[in-house]
Structure 1
Amino acid sequence: MVKFIKTHDLYSVIKPLLYVSKAVGVAPFVLEGELKNRRLRISGPAVVYSVLVLLILLGRQISLIREIYLFDLETVFKTAAVIETVTYSISTSGFALMFLLKRTDMYKILHKLSLFDELFGDMERSYNSALLFLIGQMCLHLVVVLTLSITVSSYVGLITFIDFVGRSATVNNLPIILIVDTQLFNIMLLLKQRFFAVNLKITDHLNENHNTFSIRPRNSKVAISLITQIPKVTLMDSSFDLPCERFQYLKNLHEFLCDISELVNCTYAIHMLLNVILKFIAIVFNIYFRLLRLLKSDKGQYSDDVWEWVMTGMLGWYVLKLGGIVWACASTAREANRTAVLVHKLLSKTRDPGVKEELQLFSLQLLHRKVQFTACGFFPLDFTLLYSIIGAVTTYLVILIQFQLSFANPKQNGTVSAVLPVSTSSDLFTPTLPP
């Protein structure tokens, strides 16, 4: 582990993402308090800044959409480009608006995750790995964006590239889209780490490793009544020497994590829905644009395929990020539901009546607290979604290509051959490349 990275609590892990989100205007919070006793607070000036960013963003989206009315939709290719631009504008505006409206719920999620760490007391060793993983993601995003930007600007020229950035819906909305992806991915991983920690305690007892099956809350002043109905019991008074007490505590901790999962699902439901729709449309149309170029026998005004390689890289990035978010949601739900398997294994092995009774109550709770992440209830975010997307992408590509072929008459063929060589990106503006 890198020694110069010091993490004291959960807020040390999320601090890089918090600062970037604040700069973009989607995190109206301030971090206050001393180390190991820090809390987020919704800040009035930060909320005002977020509102100003939202208004500027909405104005920019309206400007981009107004340009569509000046766009002659004479081919399926151009119509597809318009649809993709509108999707980017609506999705990004929805992201920013929901971040502002759901700011209280976002605060509650982080506060409850931090509270769980205090109650569980054995999460410090996971902080460094979580922070390094977050920094790695942010560096990867930066490297990809810089690589694509340098590649395009070196080929088309800096002035043309700046003009392209000003007109491109994809580039204009990229910062907020990256923030959404990174927040979703890392919140899921934080939840997964904590479900795994609870499961690890159960596994230790299952393997009869009683030396490691211990619970040491970090803050002895936090009352257990925060997460359970047991009255007048504090962590200072509870040594958890008896296995039944430990399982009772783990049961309440698991229920607390299930509550956090429901809050995450409620808070980010619209984000997840818009995110999947955005990436689905981007993948469909990018594959469609690349197929149109691939099927042409000449290169038109292009001397090489630099722009095509850039857009192919963007396509791969969309696929990777969609797969990453689905994997994070699915793996977190799987880890949460794995607790039931461990409890039933332990239930069949134990002979202690008190432990057996507590495990039966735990099993009953798990039966009614299944963790699943959905996009506003429309579809679950698991690997079946990827299978459905593959089938849908294939279907829509066939439809789009059939529509394109329906223009197969001399006049429209001439129009298409004049358009396709010089416009092979999904944006409404494509720089004029040198011959």
Structure 2
Amino acid sequence: MTITQPDLGVFETLESEVRSYCRGWPTVFDRARGSRMYDEDGHEYLDFFAGAGSLNYGHNNPVLKRALIDYLERDGITHALDMSTVAKRSFLQTFQDLVLRPRGLPYKVMFPGPTGTNAVESALKLARKVKGREAIVSFTNAFHGMSLGSLAVTGNAFKRAGAGIPLVHGTPMPFDQYLDGRVPDFLWFERLLEDQGSGLNRPAAVIVETVQGEGGINVARPEWLRGLADLCARRDMLLIVDDIQMGCGRTGGFFSFEEAGIVPDIVTVSKSISGYGLPMSLCLFRPELDIWEPGEHNGTFRGNNPAFVTATAALETYWSDGSSMEKQTRARGEQVEQELISITEENITDVKEYRGRGLVWGLEFHDRQRAERVARRAFELGLLVETSGPESEVVKLLPALTITPDELDAGLSALARAVRETVRETV
């Protein structure tokens, strides 16, 4: 693909140096539909990024867009804090009928603010309030958000350093297979809990991602998650599952923990819950944990009514028969896995491992800088992929759940070519 030099002047002179994604994709995007984005010069890109998981149903999904336009054109409420609105009522009822009730989940629903880190902050705050303890246990390579409470349970050293102050009351434990199976699951964790001299304050809760997205696509085994749930129950700790990126069907089931057969005490949801990329997040918890005082946790933008509208439309469109969406996602995931097997076999000395579930996959190389080169070449070939892991050593695939088999094939072919051609770069 021939790309003319874009006009990036205003971004480079006026926008903060903190910007990141635009550095890897140096063009100016203009429009998007489904799994395709277009820059201002008309160049087309297949999107295997999906708004970092915020666009599970693709860009400008026509069904969701129609619902949103109709709502806005009739002057539907846009901003309402936590006031009762028709849009909120419709979402809550639909969420209960299509998501919670069919799965036997008794959760209360809290709207903590517009982003994932807002949901995590409210989950940690509630756990501490319920248990009357400060300590929270998280896991190696975890990522839970960029506000201070979320950073305290995040593993990435670069992101933690940005806090500028001590991040306290969080203790990391080894994630599944962190020690390559050489140590029984939770041996260290259990020992610290039972030893009065360990220095570990009794935790209020444990927070975990079933698949660590930003951490490098590290997939927890169902038996490990079941063991963690059992440990939490035995030791009087609440179990929080952060489903912000892996929920809303990304791994197959609506929630990523369904495969393990566990029921967390608290669940955080964001990103694709609105269905359209609009800011929205939920904190779900068992009814007996709902000990909030009115207004004890609030926020100006916790009631995003346009997001309620698109979220309701997404649930009605894709989850009224949840099994069909789940089957489609798993089928698309098998398609990805087969191509990753081929890429691995073709580059057997270069690829360290591929791993994933549903429609989230990672490709790791022995050369820790290789993933960045692959992502850069993929962009030149018209494919958007990001990297993840503590050293950005994993190419991360996060296509929309609505992507077609042909689009998936085209993107995977571009990825395979990018891998081959970055080999030649280093020879």
Provide TM-score, normalisation by structure 1.
0.25
Larger radius of gyration: 1
Provide TM-score, normalisation by structure 2.
0.25
If each structure's helix is expressed as a fraction of its own residues, which one has the higher value? 1
If each structure's strand is expressed as a fraction of its own residues, which one has the higher value? 2
